[in-house]
Amino acid sequence: MNFSLGFSPCPNDCFIFDALVHHKIDTQGIDFTVVMEDVEALNNRAFARELDITKLSYHAFLYLTAHYALLNSGSALGFNCGPLLVKDAKTQIGDINQATIAIPGKYTTANFLLSLAFPQATRREETLFSDIEKRVLSHEVDAGLLIHENRFTYEQKGLEKIIDLGEFWESLIHAPIPLGGIVVKRSIEPELQKTIGELIRKSVEYAFANPESCMDYVRRHAQEMDEVVMKKHIALYVNSFSIDLGETGRQAVELLFQKAVEHKLIEGLAPSVFVD
């Protein structure tokens, strides 16, 4: 039995899925064909229903609950881990609503949070997340929305923070911020959905118990990232919520959906967004 599995080359995803895709745990006869792409590319694949199981921005998931259900394991969700809106330290921005902002994708949760904080800031340009810093530094755009490892290095490159949208969310909601989750096609038999969720949980638990075991896989896909940054990245985005959302994690996801309804991004939800 084989399923397509999409996740990003970022350290947190490689950390989570290494044991699963390399059979360091018993996968119960299930194999996975990995599709490794930037999260916005994975979002677009999900809209086309191309993948059986995939990492998905929670923003994109708002529109896909009829086709995918959320697994309890594998999520990137927590405190103090939100996207950062930054500018060149030498640039003055009088009105952020008039600024041109590079975003890492229309359906990223980062863009959703930007819409909550600055709904009138509509001059947005979709940009590969790893290219946002250089577009800000070259003044092609006035500001950029950083995700992933760039939050650890932007100050060294001469950028400064305008706002931490994670802090904005936490002050607004008083709950952890749901960034990305792992979803499974609803067309897959329910008991099999649960089995897949359990395998991902075991993969995360294996990684926590054997943190060096996955580092070759992480390094292979982290391009030229410094190892200290890789480990900071993993520590920031992989936590107890990645093992199991639990009641607090589920409530945070539901709060995000409620905000989307309040802001008229969506009109209704599937009866349950979770794999139960």
Cα–Cα separations (whole angstroms), residue 151 to 74, 81, 86, 126, 262: 21, 9, 10, 18, 29
Give the H/E segment covering residue 220. Answer: helix 215-221
DSSP state of 189: -
Give the H/E segment covering residue 59. Answer: helix 58-61
216: CB partners within 8 A, 6+ apart: none
Q: Whole-angstrom Cα distance, residue 64 to residue 105?
A: 16
What does the block give as tokens for 273? 């967004």
Closest CA to 33 of 43, 20, 24: 20
- Would you call 157 exposed, middle or buried from its count of C-beta atoms within 10 A (0-12, 13-18, 19+)? middle
The answer to whether 148 is a known catalytic residue is yes
- C-alpha dihedral, 25 to 44 to 149 to 173, nearest 10°: -100
Q: Whole-angstrom Cα distance, residue 252 to residue 264?
A: 19
Active-site residue identified among 22, 23, 148, 221: 148
Where in the sequence numbering do the catalytic residues fall? 148
